[in-house]
Amino acid sequence: MANALKVDEYYTYTDYLSWDEDERYELIDGVPYMMAPAPTPMHQGVVGEIGRQIDRYLDGKSCKAFRAPIDVRLNAGEADDTVVQPDLIIVCDKSKIGDKAVVGAPDMVIEVLSPSTKNYDTVLKLGKYMKAGVLECWLVDTENHIVRVHIGRGAGRDEQITFGWDEEVPVGIFPGFKIDMKKVLDAVK
């Protein structure tokens, strides 16, 4: 089925569920986007170390962290035509955690940028996250060793703050918690 997809047709989450699982897609406004090949060791190392720090912080708390691949249905209840698979998400509203997907905007999204997906992640997906109501979205740039933190302000508007990999990056949805980017960099050296 995946090879039969046509970008000039409109698809929904119901269509998405019927596609061949051997090929991974995301769905943005009814348009399928084939996902990049397997992530690099650098990408996986960054996701892994950030995820470990988040897991340690969340231990015993009600919020849950998830790593890709996990479907996030951003427009559920509306057109239901947008399904993404961020690298990491945090969900604090357990009613959003469904059997097959997270339904609605996560509280936090982290995307680790790859050269092949950088524009897609920073323009198309970031806009969808902010419009859907994600409170905080991190774009981790492994080439330039920076983290761009976008803080949702509603109605698709957001504030952006940039941090270097030699800093501790505060997690805005959890006051006092910071991700130590030096540890992340050490984990991938």
pLDDT at 3 over 50: no
Total number of domains constituting the chain: 1
- pTM for this structure? 0.91
Is the pLDDT at 180 greater than 60? The verdict is: yes
Q: Which of helix, strand or coil describes residue 81?
A: coil
| Residue 4 pLDDT exceeds 60 | no
Residue 156, pLDDT > 80, answer: no
Of 23 and 107, the one with more pLDDT: 107
Q: What angle do CA 116, 106, 159 make, to 5 degrees?
A: 70
* Least confident window among 20-24, 65-69, 138-142: 20-24
Mean pLDDT computed over 153-170 = 83
Kindly tell me if the per-residue pLDDT of 154 is higher than 70: no
What's the pLDDT at 116?
82
Q: Quickly state the pLDDT bin for 189 (edges 50, 70, 90).
A: confident
Per-residue pLDDT averaged across 140-159, rounded? 83
| Both tokens assigned to 186 | 């050490």
Per DSSP (E only), the strands in the chain are 25-28, 31-34, 64-67, 72-73, 83-84, 88-91, 102-103, 108-113, 136-141, 146-154, 157-164, 168-170, 178-180
- Quick: pLDDT tens for 28-67: 999 999 887 778 899 999 999 999 999 999 999 999 999 9
Range of the domain at 71: 2-188
- Average pLDDT in the 67-71 region? 94
Percent of the chain whose pLDDT exceeds 70 = 94
Q: What average pLDDT does range 172-183 have in this prediction?
A: 96
Q: Which amino acid is at 161?
A: I
**Pair of tokens at residue 99:** 């059997």
Q: Looking at the predicted structure, is the pLDDT value of residue 1 above 50?
A: no
CA 72 to chain centre: 9
pLDDT for position 108: 97
What CATH number does the domain containing 126 carry? 3.90.1570.10
Quote the mean pLDDT of the chain.
Answer: 90
